[in-house]
Amino acid sequence: MLPIDLTGKNAFVAGVADDNGYGWAIAKALAQAGATVRVGTWPPVCKIFTRSMGLGKLNMTLAGGGELQIEKIYPMDAAFDVPEDVPKEVAEDKRYKQFVGYTIQEVADQIKKDLGGDSLDILVHSLANGPEVKKPLVETSRKGYLAAVGSSAYSLVSMVQRFGPYMGDEGAVISLSYLAAEKVIPGYGGGMSSAKAALENDTRTLAYEAGRRWSIRVNTISAGPLSSRAARAIGSIEKMVDYYETHSALSGVNTAPDVANATAFLCSPLAAGITGETLHVDKGYNVMGMTAEDQLGK
């Protein structure tokens, strides 16, 4: 037996706001493998998320038995690197005013302090935001485009830059991408396809730079569509899921645990020789060159 064992590892999963997205599934898989898990949550929903967990409204059950234990929840907005980046109107917004230390640098510093002499071993970037995602690229504004790239792609660079010095040798960084980085996905607009392409390219460059500087591995998972609360902002997510269901190589659509299990593998010693890769977890949809017709399926 060759198990995935993350016992003694410290993990931080950025981008968890409910119990039906990829981030939550990844947190559970890492915990099931033995890791101590901390999560980062967008400030405007942090209070709701924390309250829901306290009231037992979230599914904490682990596949192998037991329940998910989250060591700490950190308010985090990946659009801001340092306190000076936060605009006055955001800082004074009632959704933010109750929190302090929610920029990427501040969260990294807090985690270092909380871990004491231990290092961070696993960093998961489950973050994406495109304010104009429903607009075709040709109608996307400069502001909307840059917001999508900044929150969905540059945030990975910023996190590696700021968390990297606190990570131990053989640390692992994982982000989540989508097939729109490679091919046209109608309805996935607002610069999000560009952001995912940047994310995958940055993964390769960071794999070299962070690998040589801190001996950490950087990979991304190109996951199929998931009808999570966050993904519903796209508007056509259900159609995307149905299309994958019909036309993937395995005639189905991946689940959140599929992606989470692949993440646990990439973060484990079993994947010690893998870095700079984009791993597709989409039931083989990405390999198809034409729609799967019934007669071919039979």
Instruction: Report the catalytic residues.
Output: 178, 188
| Cβ contact 176:220 at 8 Å | yes
Q: CA neighbours within 13 Å on the CB side: how many for 224?
A: 28
